[in-house]
Structure 1
């Protein structure tokens, strides 16, 4: 079951980054996010209502769902949608893969879970990989502010996603049903985006084109209803830190699509950076002491 959930999350979320790029245009980011999660929430309400699976929760739990909606189904995506104007969708997905480290740190802060023994080496590899990935742009005579903006927004969005993971963990520790809390959180996230759009004076009319509406439906149904349901089910089954392991394969899918559809150009430093980031995520989930055992084995000529 866990394997199937992983495949669903990786396959769908690995492709949603290019769909976010297709949302760029005349419709503001907050309005696009509003429509995405409004459609997702309404779909969930209809399905859960028909199956009699929608559970009532307390006002306190609704408050946490509101916070979760802001972190996972609202403000974080505002960061990702805006970042798509500055860097390629594939590079966004690579930065998002660092959620595994965010989750490990936040689990320690919020739930007092002891950090994984491999956290520091994994973080070092990840940060080095991010620097290598963008090294070609960073060594330019004058670093483009847009590059730093794209990196910063993607990192901030990933941090918001991780905070939402912590709230989902809180829900499930209290025995709350994942699909119900996701539905409420999506609805609240949509309403928050609507409020921001109203404040900004944005028009709520979507773009009536095959490109925009097709990507909107894909993001709402597959990227939100199915993928988030699968992901937060994983969080409940194996924990937030382990569930974030699924982000390991996102960059491989997203960068491949970015190469074909956005003209992403691979440099040697980009390949090295991607390898280091993926290696950092793998190190994060290696069994404690595995590297020391391998070193002892090599020194004793047991290979």
Structure 2
């Protein structure tokens, strides 16, 4: 079995990887601003209505085939339930309990279930560099996690609830990530499949929102509306198109490294806009995550 040059070091992967990471690194502050007047469940619903409509327009402009069939609809529904309903509702709920920085840091653990599920269900081998890079990155995440726990103003019970919600979102996202690397996902045109999943996700979100929080609530504040547009267009339609494309090339384990860098980006933005102060612990954790990323992405994936 020969070793191919790692595709994860090519510009066609690194550029969209950087764009996705920068976009998702900014979402934590925006999500925090969404909480308040409008229940989180309805904010998630509005986000994916916007995202689904944008993706539908993109698919129609490209004239992509919408022939999903029963298998495609089932796949889109599963993606909707896991990624666009379960994952996002859990994350929004988590931000009611803990800081956006701690949510972002906890979500960085996505690389662990992604790597394990890809090994179990897709047969992806865990190379030595990937394991080494993951270990270094997890050590960095642990330092960031320790720092965030220390500065979090909430009590242990509240922090535990927030972390539990985040981990629930991580598991849902990981299951969806592995699905996107299957032959079934590659058998459909990406834009129509993603548009359908997002619109179904919005419908599931709305049903959940109505059940838990009653009729729709909307806040006609400029910041809230702009946040919905940004999260729907850039953080969902654009970012997931790029991310799922990356995932299908380099696999779920490496693609999940975006979640490792995201908290570092979130903290850098928090430094600029929220007065976040770096400690030696946080700086060391950020440095380690970067080193781990470089090691892991340089892994050569065996060819069959």
TM-score normalised by L of structure 2: 0.84
Larger radius of gyration between Structure 1 and Structure 2: 1
Offset at residue 143 of structure 1 (A): 5.2
**3-state SS of the aligned residue for 2:124?**
coil
Which of 269-278 and 188-197 deviates more?
Answer: 269-278
Contact between 1:171 and 1:181, CA under 8 Å: does it hold in 2? no
Contact between 1:76 and 1:161, CA under 8 Å: does it hold in 2? yes
Q: Sort the Cα spacing of 1:174 and 1:6 in 2 relative to 1 into closer, same or farther, 3 A.
A: closer
Contact between 1:96 and 1:158, CA under 8 Å: does it hold in 2? yes
Once residues 265 and 148 of structure 2 are traced to their aligned partners in structure 1, the CA distance between those partners, rounded to angstroms, is: 23
Aligned pairs, number: 287
Q: Sort the Cα spacing of 1:283 and 1:238 in 2 relative to 1 into closer, same or farther, 3 A.
A: closer
Q: Sort the Cα spacing of 1:174 and 1:229 in 2 relative to 1 into closer, same or farther, 3 A.
A: closer
What is the CA deviation profile of residues 224-255 of structure 1, one whole-angstrom value per residue up to 9, with x for unaligned ones?
11111111111223322232233343222211
Equivalent position to 2:211, from 186, 191, 199: 199
Residue 165 (structure 2) pairs with residue 153 (structure 1)? yes
Aligned position for 1:190: 202
Q: Sort the Cα spacing of 1:120 and 1:249 in 2 relative to 1 into closer, same or farther, 3 A.
A: closer
Offset at residue 150 of structure 1 (A): 2.3
Aligned position for 1:105: 116
**3-state SS of the aligned residue for 1:98?**
helix
What is the CA deviation profile of residues 87-132 of structure 1, one whole-angstrom value per residue up to 9, with x for unaligned ones?
3323322333332332211101211222233455455445544443
Offset at residue 83 of structure 1 (A): 1.8
Equivalent position to 1:275, from 273, 287, 301: 287
Offset at residue 271 of structure 1 (A): 2.7
Once residues 242 and 25 of structure 1 are traced to their aligned partners in structure 2, the CA distance between those partners, rounded to angstroms, is: 35
Contact between 1:107 and 1:113, CA under 8 Å: does it hold in 2? yes
Equivalent position to 2:54, from 17, 31, 43: 43
Contact between 1:30 and 1:194, CA under 8 Å: does it hold in 2? yes
Q: Sort the Cα spacing of 1:84 and 1:262 in 2 relative to 1 into closer, same or farther, 3 A.
A: farther
Q: Sort the Cα spacing of 1:138 and 1:73 in 2 relative to 1 into closer, same or farther, 3 A.
A: closer
Aligned position for 1:170: 182
What is the CA deviation profile of residues 260-292 of structure 1, one whole-angstrom value per residue up to 9, with x for unaligned ones?
43443433333333334444444433448xxxx
Aligned position for 1:27: 38
Aligned position for 1:53: 64
Query: How big is the alpha-carbon RMSD for the aligned residues of Structure 1 and Structure 2?
Result: 2.6
Once residues 171 and 159 of structure 1 are traced to their aligned partners in structure 2, the CA distance between those partners, rounded to angstroms, is: 21
TM-score normalised by L of structure 1: 0.84
Which of 91-100 and 10-19 deviates more?
Answer: 91-100
Residue 125 (structure 2) pairs with residue 114 (structure 1)? yes
Q: Flag structure 1 segments of 5+ consecutive residues without an equivalent.
A: 289-303
Offset at residue 70 of structure 1 (A): 1.6
Which of 115-124 and 232-241 deviates more?
Answer: 115-124
Residue 14 (structure 2) pairs with residue 3 (structure 1)? yes
Contact between 2:39 and 2:217, CA under 8 Å: does it hold in 1? no
